[in-house]
Each structure stands twice: as structure tokens, then as C-alpha cells.
Amino acid sequence: MKLAQPITLDQVCSWTGGTPLGDPGQLITGLNEIHMVESGDLTFVDHPKYYDKVLRSAATTIIINKKVNVPSGKALIYSDDPFRDYVSLVRRFRGFEASDRMISPTAVIGEGTIIQPGVFIGHHVRIGKHCLIHANVSIYDHTLIGDHVVIHSGSVIGADAFYYKKRPDRLDRLESCGRVVLGDHVEIGACCTIDKGVSGDTTLGDHTKLDNHVQIGHDTIIGKRCILSSHVAVAGVTRVEDDVTLWGQVAVQKDIVIGAGAVVLAKSGVDKSIEGGRTYFGVPARESRTVWKEMAIVKQLPDLIDKLRKL
């Protein structure tokens, strides 16, 4: 998330109570979790597994719970609870804003767009031209929708990311400050859910089509002309490249890439990145021709065992 106005390291420390390690005047232009960071961003780290990754990332300012040497060009904020302090900043700059009407006065709706009864449109939403939003769709704050988009009844666009930190006695939610961005000519089936990014954008490219009951996780990027059939579930921070087809009940693991033109057959589970231009099947998903051959051999096993017994 980019900030409307830059803030300084000193200001952040005054709000969070953290200890500055570096230039107090260091400028911060955005808030991002580690998967989405860019130069100028503030992020956080609170686990030894990720110290090196975060310290070497593009982030300019890092809230950290370990005193380390300050990397060149960066500033650090020492905190006993980086997660808590990062969430407090998200709430300060993009906290929940209650609505008192079905369509926010800050929403911008393009020419020729039809909004059916019962649609909720949150604050700072932008919807393009000649779209059709069917009854009882919910579009959360800051969502961006292109032209000629169709969204069917019961779908929710922009719900919070499913992202929690485990505490000894509870689970703390990482507040979401990202968005959902839908390209032109996108179609969303009934009862679909597309989560906003934790701090970046969950994106669907032009001409991509979702069937009913599809779930898209936070910060996932889906390319152009993709087809996702009913009951597909794609976890967060996944990249689905152009012209991919995911048939019914496919489940996709987080943090992976599905290559352009790949086809994943129904009821498969994709647990690692796969190359484009091929067809996959199974749990875990593998090239379908290999799986079919193995299945054919397995079907022959009873006869082979029977023959061996008669020897």
C-alpha cells in the first residue's frame, strides 16, 4: 500500500514506541508485507527464519525484534513485537471505515454500468463502463474494476486476507490494506470470493472467467484469458500466468507459479510450481500422460499377481 504522504522513521517510532536504528529522517512511502515490498516501503520481521530475506529485500525500513547491523540504505526499528506495531500502522492509515448506505458516495461508477438491487459498494471503489453487477454482490473498499465486467449474485470482492499470527492464547489477524483489481471483460460467477491483498493487489487479468464457487486468496495474480471452473481454490501469493485452465475442484498451494497455457484437470492438487503448455492431473498434480500410464499399469496388477500365483 502506498501512502498518500511520506512519513519519517521518527514519526513511526513516536506512534509505535519502537527504537530507531538509522536515520530518524528516513522517508517511508508505503507499507508492505515481505512478499510485496518495494523501495521506500516499511515492512516487518519477527521470526529468525526470515531475518536474512527481509534484510536483503527492497524494503527501506524494517521493524525487527533483533538488534542487527543496519544494512546500507536502510533504517531499522527495534520492537518487542513487530507484528503488533505493523498492524497498528495499517490501522492508522487504512483502518476499517464503516458505511451507512449500500453504495458509498466515494464510489465511482462508469457510464452504462448496471447495479442490481441489493448490491453493496464500499468506499473508494471504482467500477468501469458497461459492467453488470448482479443482486447481492458485496464489493469492499478500494476495489478497482475495469470495463465490461460481469459479477454474479452472492459474490464477495475484496474480503480480508486469511492471514494470522499464532499467539500462545489466540490468533491475531494481520490487517489487510491491499486491494482487488479486476481487468476488462472479466466475469465472476455466483458465490465467488476474491480476497484483497494483505498489502498489495489481488489481480485478475483481462478476459479471465470464473465459474461459481471459486476462491482466490490474497495477493494472487491471475493472468489474461484464464478459465477457473467451479470449486477451484487458489491460495495466496500465487501467480497464474496467461491462458491457464483450472477445471473443477482444483486446489492450488500458496507461493507457486502455474505457467502460461497449463491445463489442470478436475480434482487435482497443485503443490509446487508447474511449467506452462502441459496438462496435469492428480494429487500432487503431474503430467497427465504419466499418471494415465501408471493408472493403466495398476489396473493390470490383479491379473499379473494371479498369473504369478499360478506359476
How far is the first Cα of the chain from the last one, in angstroms, to the nearest whole number? Answer: 71
State phi, psi for 163 to the nearest 5 degrees: -150, 115
Of 209, 212, 222, give the one whose Cα is nearest residue 258: 222
For residues 12 and 60, give the distance between their C-alpha atoms in angstroms, rounded to a whole number: 13
Q: At what angle do helices 9-16 and 82-94 cross, to 10 degrees?
A: 110
Q: Is 231 part of the annotated catalytic residue set?
A: no
DSSP 254-303: SS-EE-TT-EE-TT-EE-S-B-SS-EEETTTTEEHHHHHHHHHHHHHHHH
3-state secondary structure of 242: coil
Q: Which of 130, 134, 218, 231 is catalytic?
A: 218
> How far lies 22's CA from each of 19, 82, 84, 256, in Å?
10, 17, 21, 35
Could you list the active site residues?
218
